[in-house]
Structure 1
Amino acid sequence: MARPTDSPASVVLVGGHESANGADLLPFLDQLPATQVSASGRALSNTVSRLLSAPEGAPVVVVPITFGRNPTMVADAAKTLSWLAPLHPGRLALAADFGTLDHLTAWLRAAAVEVRRRSPEAAMLIAAEAANPFDDAELHRIAHLVRTHGAGNEVEAVAVAGQGDLLASLQRLRLLGHPEAVVVPAGFQRSSTVPFGDGDFAGAAFYGPLVSEQAVLRVIRDRVADAVHGLRHGDDGITAGLAADHGHGYAHSHAFDATEGAGHTHTHSHGDGRGVAHTHDHSETGHHHPEAAGGSHPEMSLTHTQ
């Protein structure tokens, strides 16, 4: 692999449903020189191709701006880069994701403490743009963790396709005895056009950005620096990115394996929020699943005897 030049890297922040396809990231560009924002897909391909055609030959680093709830965006970005990288050896890298699900949970727990401090009686409503059943389910899982390990305030979650979803959640909280609520974004939204505090939104307030501007800038710079370092040592991050959405979706089960002992792939999640595929041989020399060979678990039967 050719070595990257010593020129400063050009950076592309690729956004998905956690950042309104990148629109929420635009305010950061004033503090990030040589940086652009793009959605995934053809827009990313066009942006990266244009940067790679620059005569100075600077490396290009793509940073997936996700808290870990959009692994398909990361995999799509990696696929785009995998087509472009062979044409520009040593110049293109995919950085590690901005954050992980554990980071998101920790930031939301910190927000729960702050909500409790500001408004001790207020509920916390974690809100995010509706995406797909799996990413939305992750939102509710994280809300449960924040509720369980939070500050003692009521915590709910809503995947928002329109203001009606937000209104319905606030009304449900009122019926449960929580007339006050603070809406906390589970993404990169920094402001809201919803008329919180007025009319149907009386008693509700917008929390503000989940992560401070300086913290976001610091993380992005760290991701870029790490990606450039990896590129200099022959690791462009693209292969890992291609596996980002492995295991995301319907759970894998051995119960319907056609052949006992057949080898197949598991995906394990590691600290950078990406899945890495490992193949395990489920044969007599490996670990064995008696339920796959023997049928059902008796203790899970739905038949009741009198």
Structure 2
Amino acid sequence: MTAHSPVHEHAHQHTDPATARVVAALGPESEQMPDLGFPSAAPGRGLADLVAAEGQSGDLVVVVPMTFGRAPTVIADCARTLRDVRGRTGGARLALTAPLGDATMLVTRLRAAIRRHELGDAAADSVLVVSPAIDPFADAELFRLARLARQYGRPGLVEVAFHGGTEPDPDLAGGLARLDALGSERPMVVSATLAPAPVIGRRLPGEGEYLMGPAVLRSVIDTRVREAVHRLDHGADGPAGADGIDPALDAEDGHGYAHSHVAADGSVYTHSH
């Protein structure tokens, strides 16, 4: 008689992502974003109350951090909020998605926006990439991403300016002054966040335009929700990480100045915030 190995069947819950109650978690990159029809709140009390209320109306609440990753505090604060709100959702499951986007997506979207105005009789001869000031590390990162966005493209002159937020340096006027001083005659303005590019009053290409319109944003959010629901149903990353909450608590690691801690056993470890 031939011995047969036991067959192990794994039953997974299959949740229709369309039934999830989607909540957008707001941050500095989502200020003035298009109206997508989703309830939204910033991490903290507002998000906690909103998620708890949504949990009373559905079996699954999925929270999407509206950041391209330049504001990892938004992700970590979402995780802390959802960790604290567990048990207050009337039995509904919670899930935290991956951020809306990452650096690669932002560079790709910036390139697409630049290409819209780089050819023709009224073509721009420089680019001003604009964002609210977030913090020194997020702001410095934008200079790197803007440089990558113009790689292999036209025009070759790209500057960054900060419009609003905390300590904008350079501010919008300063960024335009740099381009003027470098000989630019027709700069384009490109938003690096979900807000429309500022209207400066010089009738510049790109003024008032969104980096990502509502249809594109909804498509990306739908993808993030589907990924999160699949992970939750299949227990990816183990039971403790399937909802995406606990792993996201460390989202700020590597962002900020590196510093050291001394553990109870005397060992020293270094990380960044």
TM-score (norm 1): 0.71
Structure 1 stretches of 5 or more lacking a match? 30-34, 268-274, 276-306
Query: 137-146 or 164-173, which moves further after superposition?
Result: 164-173
Match of 2:24, SS state, is: strand
Amino acid at match of 1:240: P
1:221 matched residue in structure 2 = 222
1:24 has 2:33 as partner: yes
Q: Alignment partner for residue 189 of structure 1, among 191, 195, 201?
A: 195
Q: How far did 1:203 drift?
A: 5.0
Structure 1 residues 161 and 111: alpha-carbon distance in aligned structure 2, compared to 1, 3 A threshold: same
Match of 1:81, SS state, is: helix
1:68 matched residue in structure 2 = 69
Distance in 2 (CA, whole Å) between partners of 1:203 and 1:92 is 44
Query: 232-241 or 164-173, which moves further after superposition?
Result: 164-173
Structure 1 residues 39 and 238: alpha-carbon distance in aligned structure 2, compared to 1, 3 A threshold: same
Runs of 4+ in 1 over 6 A off after TM superposition: 3-7
Q: 1:109·1:149 contact (CA, 8 Å) conserved in 2?
A: no
Q: 1:189·1:209 contact (CA, 8 Å) conserved in 2?
A: yes
Q: Alignment partner for residue 92 of structure 1, among 91, 94, 109?
A: 94
Q: How far did 1:59 drift?
A: 0.5
Q: How far did 1:117 drift?
A: 2.1
Distance in 1 (CA, whole Å) between partners of 2:229 and 2:124 is 47
2:185 matched residue in structure 1 = 179
Q: How far did 1:90 drift?
A: 6.2
Match of 2:64, SS state, is: strand
1:150 has 2:191 as partner: no
Q: 2:68·2:101 contact (CA, 8 Å) conserved in 1?
A: yes
Q: How far did 1:186 drift?
A: 0.2
Give the number of equivalent residue pairs.
Answer: 248
Structure 1 residues 121 and 11: alpha-carbon distance in aligned structure 2, compared to 1, 3 A threshold: closer
Match of 2:69, SS state, is: coil
Larger helix share, 1 or 2: 1
Structure 1 residues 153 and 207: alpha-carbon distance in aligned structure 2, compared to 1, 3 A threshold: farther
Q: Deviations over 1:151-201 (max 9, x none)?
A: 343111112238992122112211110021111000111364x3422xxxx
Q: 2:262·2:269 contact (CA, 8 Å) conserved in 1?
A: no
Q: Deviations over 1:18-72 (max 9, x none)?
A: 111xx424x221xxxxx31112221111111111233xx4200000111111111
Distance in 2 (CA, whole Å) between partners of 1:110 and 1:262 is 48
Q: How far did 1:146 drift?
A: 2.1
Q: 2:33·2:195 contact (CA, 8 Å) conserved in 1?
A: yes
Match of 2:41, SS state, is: strand
Distance in 2 (CA, whole Å) between partners of 1:203 and 1:228 is 42
What pairs up with 1:1-306 in 2 under 5 angstroms? Answer: 8-20=19-31, 23-25=32-34, 27-29=35-37, 35-54=38-57, 57-88=58-89, 91-118=93-120, 119-161=122-164, 165-190=171-196, 192=198, 194-197=199-202, 205-206=206-207, 208-234=209-235, 235-251=242-258, 262=267, 264=269
Taking only the aligned residue pairs, the percentage that are identical comes to 38
Structure 2 stretches of 5 or more lacking a match? 1-12, 236-241
